[in-house]
A and B are shown apart, each in its own frame.
Chain A
Amino acid sequence: MKSKHFVAKFYLIFVLVVLYVPIFYLIYFSFSSGRNMNKFEHFTWMHYQTLFQDNRLLAIFLETILLALLSSLIATIVGTLGAIAIAGLQKKWQQKTLLALNNVLIVSPDVIIGASFLIFFTALGIGLNFGSVLLSHIAFSIPIVVLMVLPRLKELDYSLIDAARDLGANNYQVFSNVMIPALMPGIFAGMFMALTYSLDDFGVTFFVTGNGFSTLSVEIYSRARQGIDLEINALSTVMFLFVLLLVGIYYFITTRKGRKGRKMVGGLIK
């Protein structure tokens, strides 16, 4: 029994190490004074200094985050309403068809979605800039939000809606005071997923970025093609810390309610 337990633990640690080693390898060399990752020379902040003086890269960094926030916010609103509409459909086959169409968009490769957006935008004469990237990010985030919100809707206790109507709420009040709070965990998970999808998307973005606008993933790709620069390592480190912060915020928000509740029990027991 004990050895089995040990094997399981060892396996878990091994998997985690394999997953994290490349990231820490990158971070490690971001502090090397050398020009490449063959050998660690000596400790320096040099690459961070060049990074923070690289206005173009910093602008792209901020724009990428703005894009992610904006696209996930809009996708969450559209996706949540869409999920409510799908759940409200009377006929089972309609629900299943819409859900299947939704899932096709999630499964299909980024290249296909990106290429189709490119054709779509050029056909309509829409310029390739921040707007086109935002539109495509919103589009591929919506199915994810729908998928995260729908299970919540299925679990929703419809007597809650009856209760709210019974207490005098009109349709809008039922929606804002009862449905949205009940769906909140799903909505929040959907928004976070949309945020991460937008942040690390390369495939779709690569097709729909024009001259004036680029996201981090596309920029790093184009720089890496010209040879590895340790400035990218520094940037990756900053990004890693940023993502860590995001995950931290997510956990903080999702567990806050429970902590508030516990505190109140403590307050009452004294």
Chain B
Amino acid sequence: MNIIELKHVNKRYDDGFVALKDINLKIESGKFYSLLGPSGSGKSTILRIIAGFSQPTEGRVFFAGKDITDLDPAKRQINTVFQNYALFSHLNVFDNVAFGLKIKKRPLREIKPIVKDALKMVRLEGYANREISELSGGQQQRVAIARAIVNEPKVLLLDESLSALDKRLRKEMQFELRAIQKKLGITFIFVTHDQEEALSMSDEIFVLNNGRIEQNGSPIDIYDEPINDFVARFIGNSNILPGRMIKDYEVEFANQRFKCADAGMKANEKVEIVIRPEDLDITSPEKGKLVVTAQTQLFLGDHFEIKAVDADENEWLIHSTNGCKLNQRIGLYFDPEDIHVMRLHESQKDFNARLESYEDEEHDND
């Protein structure tokens, strides 16, 4: 069941700026979604259109099958947690959380237990009488979440809600958000520019760039099978090299041929290949599939980040738990599955169809 569907949504501003170009997306009930993209990619605009604060120039928005494009935000079963929390500073914590219920003229004896439960959900029991100015950033964040969930929305929108918190608190809130979503069983749509945040929390990610959806899929799909070099670069670190597909399951790059796990392309088609830095293992030059020379090495606590150059002056980024000696030849080993082949300008539809075609084939071979 799709709880939210956007069909051919475009957004143009009066000054001619095009924020969204033909956005089509389907949001299923009860899942955690992330809209991930750099600033200006249109992710917040999508959120504002779903919430109803902004109207699409073209296209329709559907909620549980009904067209809600022109419906007032007050009448949508959708609530938002704003980037700066947008708490009412003239009201205390209780009145902030109870705001939506009081607007709906619910009697106070009904409101009290609901607010208490919501505050318990966000672990702020006993804070009901505090003023907003007395709360820390993380606590304000929780109040904003409680204020949204008391209205029992079907969908909760979170607009870069963790970006104002420090790193440790952010990590903590990521776990908590995920736990709250699981407990409520409602749909969360989370807007972020932080790829780590999106990968760790989401069931599904939409990667946006320049007002277009570049790719959508589970975090693992997006990380392991980026559709193009934008997604590959934006999600995690990558080594991206031009290559040529020799035939199915064989690719050429860095003037060598390698076995790979991709198929379904034309022979000799120009492609780009991606190898994640953590998939490269350092070994002796004889055992390595590639031979490179390490140039710089940074110790990052849980791993070393090594930059190396091969004979063709291609740069390689390697993440390794052990350091290596600089300015010496080292071998790099990787499995055929570690090579991800990307066709140039492939649409998501073709991409998915191609993956499915040869994945089925593999099953047939088994």
Contact = CB atoms under 8 A, between A and B. Distances in A.
Interface of A: 157, 159-160, 162-170, 173, 177-178, 181-182, 184, 261, 264-265, 267-268
A162 B82 contact: yes
Contacts of B89: 182
A174 to B, nearest CB: 9
A13 to B, nearest CB: 36
A181 B89 CA distance: 9
Given A166-B79, A261-B131, A157 B74 contact: no
B129 A163 contact: no
A159 B79 contact: no
Interface stretch (B97-105, B178-186, B332-340): B97-105
A162 B87 CA distance: 11
Interface in B36-56: 51-53
28 contacts: A159-B84, A159-B86, A160-B88, A162-B53, A162-B82, A163-B80, A164-B88, A165-B52, A165-B72, A165-B73, A166-B73, A166-B78, A166-B79, A167-B99, A167-B100, A167-B147, A168-B100, A169-B99, A169-B103, A170-B74, A177-B103, A182-B88, A182-B90, A261-B131, A264-B130, A264-B134, A265-B134, A268-B130
B133 interface: yes
Contact of B88 (A168, A181, A267): A181
A222 B283 CA distance: 105
Nearest to A166: B80
B97 to A, nearest CB: 10
B86 A167 contact: no
Interface in B88-120: 88-91, 99-100, 103-104
A141 B151 CA distance: 43
Nearest to B91: A181
Interface of B: 51-53, 72-75, 78-80, 82-84, 86-91, 99-100, 103-104, 126, 129-131, 133-134, 147-148, 151
Contacts of A268: 126, 129-130
Contacts of B151: 167-168
Nearest to B54: A162
Contacts of B52: 165
B86 A162 contact: yes
Given A162-B73, A168-B75, 18 more contacts: A157-B84, A162-B51, A162-B86, A163-B87, A164-B99, A164-B103, A165-B53, A165-B74, A166-B51, A166-B53, A166-B74, A167-B99, A167-B103, A167-B148, A177-B88, A182-B88, A265-B134, A268-B130
Nearest to B76: A166
Contacts of A169: 74, 99, 103
A181 to B, nearest CB: 4
A264 B88 CA distance: 18
B79 A167 contact: yes
B7 to A, nearest CB: 23
Contacts of B80: 162-163, 166
A167 B75 CA distance: 9
Contacts of A177: 88, 99, 103
A168 B134 CA distance: 26
A168 B79 CA distance: 9
A173 B134 contact: no
A268 B93 CA distance: 14
B90 A168 contact: no
Contacts of A163: 80, 82, 86-88
Nearest to A178: B88
A258 to B, nearest CB: 9
B125 to A, nearest CB: 12
A179 to B, nearest CB: 11
Contacts of A159: 82-84, 86
